[in-house]
Amino acid sequence: KDRWNQLDLAIVLLSVMGITLEEIEISAALPINPTIIRIMRVLRIARVLKLLKMATGMRALLDTVVQALPQVGNLGLLFMLLFFIYAALGVELFGELVCNEDYPCEGMSRHATFENFGMAFLTLFQVSTGDNWNGIMR
Q: Is the pLDDT of residue 11 over 70?
A: yes
pLDDT tens for each residue of 46-63:
666 666 667 778 778 888
pLDDT of residue 3: 77
Confidence tier at 32 by pLDDT (50, 70, 90): low
HSE, side-chain direction, 13 A CA sphere, residue 78: 6
Phi, psi of 111 (to 5 degrees): -95, -15
CA dist., res. 27 & res. 32, Å (int)? 8
Rg for the chain (alpha carbons), in Å? 28
Altogether, the residues listed in the chain come to a count of 138
Looking at every residue in the chain, the average pLDDT score rounds to: 80
CA dist., res. 114 & res. 100, Å (int)? 16
Burial readout 81-117 (b: 16 or more C-beta within 10 A, e: otherwise): eebeebbeebbeeeeeeeeeeeeebebbeeebbbbee
pLDDT tens for each residue of 54-95:
777 877 888 898 899 999 999 999 999 999 999 999 999 988
Residue 112 β-bridge partners: 109
Task: Provide the whole-model pTM.
Answer: 0.53
Q: Where do the domains of the chain lie?
A: 1-54, 70-138
